[in-house]
Each structure stands twice: as C-alpha cells, then as structure tokens.
Copies of this chain bind each other. A is one copy, B any other.
C-alpha cells in the first residue's frame, strides 16, 4: 500500500481540506514530497510548523513548476486569476485538480489556462467540518465520504485512473459525474442547507423580543443544529453562492414554495398536511444512516449515554 502515486504534490491553499489531504497523503505514502503556496504568510508558516509540507513557497508559479499533481484548495473566487498565473508553469504530463464545491465555474475559470499535455480533472470531496485553517484538518476527513470527479471531454484515461486511485487510497469513495449535474445535486445536498442555516441563525441574531442570551440558552431545542454549518468559512460560502447561482436559485424556489404550503397549513390548522409532511421525512434519515453517511447514535452521538435504550 505504500506505492508512490505522484512524486511531487503541490497544494495551492492549505486550509481544512488542503491540510487534510497533506496529512492523508503523508500517512499513506502516496507522494514523495509536498509543497504548498498560500496567499497568507502565516498559513505557510503554520503548515511548515505542523509538518504538513516539506516546503512552503511564496508564489503559486514556484509551487507548481515541478509538481506531478497540483490540487487547488482555495476559495472559488481565486481560481481565474490563479489559472492565469500557474498555466504557463504547469509541467507536461502533470495532473491539475481541485476541491471546489462548484464544478461548472471551475471549468470556466481554469480550463482556458491549462496547456496541452496537462491533465485537468476537476474534483470535489463531499466532506468537511465547520472549522477552517490548516490546524483544523485531519487525515480521516475523507474516510467513507464521496469524492466526485467531473472530467472534461478528452480526458486521458490513465491520468483519470491515477487520480481515482489517489482519492481511493485516501479513503474516499469516488464517483464520476457531468459538471452540470454535480452543481444541481450539490445545490440541494449542500448549498441550500448552508444558505438556510446561515439565514435562520441570522434571523435569530436579529430578534429584539427574544434576547440573544435566551436564543443561546434554549438552543438545545433544535436551533443549535443549524449553528454548526452556519459557522463554516464565510469566504468559501460566499463564493459557492456567487458561482452556482442558477442551481441554488432553482432549489431555493422549490424550498420557498414548499414552505409557503406548510405556512398555510399552520395558519388554517390543517393538521393532516403537517402530519403527512412530518411522517415521510423520517425514512430519508434511515436511508442516510444505512448508506454509511450518518451516525445511528441519537443526537449525532453528542450525548452518549451508556444506558440509552436500556
């Protein structure tokens, strides 16, 4: 299991995701050396201090120059300019991938800068926590989580297979998908949930009739669940919404329509509609647990009672 898959790995950006890749790739001996470029000098210093990388350089050109695998791990808003900078310095035969949460915009922003002979294969690990920065990463982040590749037309089969193997060795389950379909699927499974969570936490924060200390005290009634994803990185999420506008607006339209129906049921005392809606949602959680994508422990296992159910 210690076959080196890529000699030199370059991580452009080394936050939660980039640093988790570094940890897993080192642990499993998937690469010989890792270099990183981060815009922030403090982040570069932290990556070295944590032993995540062998070198940290102060330009993206330098980071990619000799790299066999380049993984872009920055917010989406940095991609277009970054593509222009690194394009001319990518090594022939190298693979360029990324971890961005939107895939059509990534192809729009990076593809024009990729020279012939470089394998450009966009990717997205469906994994994360609400924490950010190089300290927040951990090698197990990708274990049993899905990694979606959205290869463009004419992608080299061997290069695709190599990247597939890299992510599998890191612990991911790998799926291939059309970029447009990816953006629609993620709009409902990830982007809309984040928008809704940010929104309700914002609504609660604004309340004058209920003091903020009461919102915090009684948050165990359900509200606290939403604060987790609403604590996610603001720059990353701003960029997701700016770059997946159509799909998010489509899913948001459906959500709002459904919510209006529930609002009407509450106003008119239509208990049957409420009951029917609340009943069918239980089955979905069961399926997510059965698919290995969620813990079966009550309350996410927050409150692990030794005698629960006894």
Binding site for B on A (CB under 8 A): 23, 50, 77, 101, 126-131, 135-136, 138-141, 143, 145-146, 148, 175, 184-186, 188-207, 209-210, 212, 214-232, 234-235, 237-239, 241-242, 245, 248-249, 251-252, 254-256, 258-259, 262-263, 265-267, 269, 271, 274-275, 277-282, 284-288, 291, 293-295, 298-303, 305, 307-310
Do the beta carbons of A204 and B130 come within 8 Å of each other? no
State how many copies of this chain the complex holds.
2
Do the beta carbons of A193 and B225 come within 8 Å of each other? yes
With a cutoff of 8 Å between Cβ atoms, the chain B residues found around residue A128 in the complex are: 221
Do the beta carbons of B300 and A300 come within 8 Å of each other? yes
With a cutoff of 8 Å between Cβ atoms, the chain B residues found around residue A216 in the complex are: 284, 287-288, 291, 293
A199-B262, A204-B284, A205-B284 provided; 18 other pairs, C-beta below 8 A? A136-B298, A140-B305, A140-B307, A185-B218, A188-B223, A189-B218, A197-B225, A198-B277, A203-B258, A219-B288, A225-B228, A225-B229, A234-B278, A242-B266, A242-B269, A242-B271, A242-B274, A256-B256
Which of the residues B143, B217, B223, B281 comes within 8 Å of A227, measured between beta carbons? B281
| CA A127 to CA B298, docked complex, whole Å | 12
Chain B, Cβ-Cβ closest to A129: B298
| CA A195 to CA B148, docked complex, whole Å | 31
With a cutoff of 8 Å between Cβ atoms, the chain B residues found around residue A307 in the complex are: 23, 138-140
- 7 interchain residue pairs of minimum CB distance: A190-B221, A234-B278, A193-B222, A129-B298, A300-B300, A227-B285, A138-B305
Which residue among A239, A269, A308 has the maximum number of chain B CB atoms within 10 Å of its CB?
A: A308
| CA A266 to CA B238, docked complex, whole Å | 9
Asked whether A224 and B288 contact (CB < 8 A) given A218-B185, A303-B129, A309-B135, the answer is yes
- 13 sampled A-B residue pairs with Cβ under 8 A: A128-B221, A138-B310, A140-B307, A141-B303, A192-B203, A196-B200, A198-B278, A228-B285, A230-B278, A234-B278, A237-B274, A249-B263, A249-B267
